[in-house]
Amino acid sequence: MRRPAVRSAACFVATSVDPSIEAVVASADAPAIAPAIAPAIAPAGAPGRRAGTRVVGLAALVMSTALLAACGGDDDHDDGPRRSVGAVRLIGEQTLPNDLQVGGTTVGGLSGIDYDPAANLWYLVSDDRSDKQPARFYTARISYDSARLQPVQIASVVTLRQADGSAYPNRTAGGVVPDPEAIRFDPSTGGLWWTSEGDRVLGLDPFVARARTDGTLSGTLPLPAAFQMSPTQETGSRNNATFEGLSLSADGKSLWVSMEGPLYQDGPLPTPSSGSVSRLLRYDRNGNVLAQFVYPLDAIPAAPAPGRSADNGVTEILAIDDNRLLTLERAGVQGADGNFTTYVRLYQIDIRGATDVRSLDRLAGASYVPVRKRLVQNLNALGLKTVDNIEGMAWGPKLANGRDSLVLVSDNNFNATQITQVLAFEVVPE
């Protein structure tokens, strides 16, 4: 979602295209859909011992194995990385020049980010709706240690393509106009997932897409009826408040998708005096909705100037384990001068005990238990000159001390008064 803010911060360096990264983009073209799951996803084009001790040794082995099975840890983490988030510590900040050109495109609108650890390669998706240049993502090198974030190297640009190989059109041309908001690398296939927010005026629904690393669409997930856009009725998804967040589950077997704001039938948007709700969906790889949960949105943290606007919503999610995720809430509050002040909070949520609301087409007036959330970090309390429109979040490589790292990126909306901001954090476990 686009949100103006106030400009600041130092610059971050982009280099010419690194041929080795180009090779990764060109050749890491794994099958788009594993054969076992392909039929269930919408096809592309639709949106040594002595004898006397052997028995004792075997018994000891069996007993020790049983003890390890009983004491080996949390089932929630068995198939995924073991992570814990107590707090975060800022490592550093870099910014990207607003006039940076890579491959004949303007680098900006970076709304999603993810990391391929095997290739040490980062993916960043732009939310350009093919207005400036065709919808696209970038590859990059982002290097840091526990003390410093290095200047970021934008390496290449890849056009997002429809199933027939053509670039996505803009709103003037018509057709399936994308609004890319999140991107994830899928280690199990070597491909990508990305989301589009849709367009209510054009009657275009939000969608979750699967693509090859050359950008070509290979499938989309089914959209529940309650989330469909209506150009004329106040029902379903609101414009610019839909599939903003995306995460693979910790074990990689499912996907989490988050709404930025409430469906029309779920209640009103947040205000400075009242919060609201949004939905969190969990899909399996076959496109079935496994669960839906309610996320409690904060009230907008400040009132806008008279006649001006303000909002608050979820801009990204990131799985920690099977029950817990990180969420980013971003609020924009417009001042009398027309500029926005951005407020960003990092939360941890826990779905245990929350109601599965798959069967509820309407939350307004319904009884349910939302997910629990805990504030991890108020980004406005970090002492940064500016907190811009932070929309992307991803796990990075382990630090030398064994701790996880986290990287955030902002969407500058291609606005001269904003910045593309990259922040790296050390994750302090609970």
Q: In this structure, is residue 318 part of a structural domain?
A: yes
**What is the pLDDT confidence band of residue 337, given thresholds at 50, 70 and 90?**
very high
Residue 23: the pLDDT is: 30
Domains in the chain: how many in total?
A: 1
Q: In this structure, is residue 10 part of a structural domain?
A: no
Of 69-73, 272-276, 283-287, 303-307, the range with the lowest mean pLDDT is 69-73
- Taking the C-alpha atoms of residue 256 and residue 280, their distance in angstroms, rounded to an integer, is 7
Q: In this structure, is residue 4 part of a structural domain?
A: no
* Higher pLDDT, residue 85 or 73: 85
What φ, ψ does residue 39 adopt, rounded to 5°?
-65, -25
Q: In this structure, is residue 231 part of a structural domain?
A: yes
Residue 77: the pLDDT is: 41
Q: Are 5 and 418 in contact (CB under 8 A)?
A: yes
Q: What is the mean pLDDT of residues 105-124?
A: 98
In order of 143, 176, 335, the CA distances from 303 in angstroms are 38, 36, 9
Residue 27: the pLDDT is: 32
Bridge partner residues of 280 (DSSP): 258, 293
Residue 82: the pLDDT is: 87
pLDDT for residue 167 is more than 70: yes
* Higher pLDDT, residue 216 or 51: 216
Q: Identify the domain containing residue 235 by its residue range.
A: 19-37+85-428
Q: What is the mean pLDDT of residues 308-337?
A: 98
Of 55-69, 240-254, 314-328, the range with the lowest mean pLDDT is 55-69
* Higher pLDDT, residue 142 or 14: 142
> pLDDT of 370-412, one tens digit each?
999 999 999 999 999 999 999 999 999 999 999 999 999 999 9
Other Cβ atoms within 10 Å of 251 Cβ, number: 15
Residue 106: the pLDDT is: 98
Residue 81: the pLDDT is: 72
Q: In this structure, is residue 48 part of a structural domain?
A: no
CATH number of the domain that residue 243 is part of? 2.115.10
> pLDDT of 145-164, one tens digit each?
999 999 999 999 999 999 99
For residue 50, give both structure tokens: 């002595």
Residue 8: the pLDDT is: 37
Bridge partner residues of 20 (DSSP): none
Q: What is the mean pLDDT of residues 283-303?
A: 97
- Taking the C-alpha atoms of residue 107 and residue 414, their distance in angstroms, rounded to an integer, is 8
